[in-house]
């Protein structure tokens, strides 16, 4: 696969995950809104990694590490940095039942709507870099 095809592959997955987050929000499945928002941004960052590094992205899930590896840490707004700080733990915590009870208490409809809206903005911003 050429680099353009790899970038398209990752962005198509990011868009799919964003739409899944939307469906989860509309159906009040709040635990998975954050998880799918994380997945969306992870895949968009992997597309940007391919574009900037001209190689396959690392097999990691940490948004913070991907951002550093791409060299974006100084380009992100404070709002986007805060969003990444919110999303990073949701990747792991949504997967493991030990954390789910605690997460359910914190993931309200209003909170998830904010995370979803901010994810939409960050996804758009990442796409401008492609």
What's the whole-model pTM score? Answer: 0.92
Nearest to 15 by CA among 33, 34, 51, 39: 39
Q: Quick one: pLDDT at residue 95?
A: 59
User: ∠ at Cα 114 (89, 59), nearest 5°?
Assistant: 35
Q: What would the two tokens of residue 6 be?
A: 């790899």
Q: Quick check: 84 and 77 in contact, CB under 8 A?
A: no
CB atoms within 10 A of CB 112: 22
Query: At residue 94, does pLDDT exceed 60?
Result: no
Residues 99-125: what's their mean pLDDT? Answer: 88
| 7 backbone dihedrals φ, ψ, rounded to 5° | -60, -45
Q: What would the two tokens of residue 122 be?
A: 């960050």
pLDDT tens track for 46-85: 999 999 999 999 999 999 999 999 999 999 999 999 999 9
């Amino acid at each position: 696969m050429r680099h353009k095809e790899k970038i398209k592959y990752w962005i198509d997955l990011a868009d799919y995950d964003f739409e899944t987050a939307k469906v989860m929000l509309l159906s009040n499945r709040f635990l998975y809104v954050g998880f799918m928002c994380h997945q969306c941004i992870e895949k968009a960052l992997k597309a940007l990694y391919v574009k900037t590094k001209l190689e396959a992205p690392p097999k990691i899930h940490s948004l913070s590490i991907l951002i550093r590896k791409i060299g974006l840490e100084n380009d992100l707004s404070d709002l986007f940095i805060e969003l990444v700080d919110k999303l990073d733990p949701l990747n792991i915590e949504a997967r493991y039942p030990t954390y789910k009870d605690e997460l359910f208490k914190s993931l309200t409809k209003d909170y998830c709507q904010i995370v979803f809206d901010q994810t939409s903005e960050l996804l758009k911003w990442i796409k401008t870099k492609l």
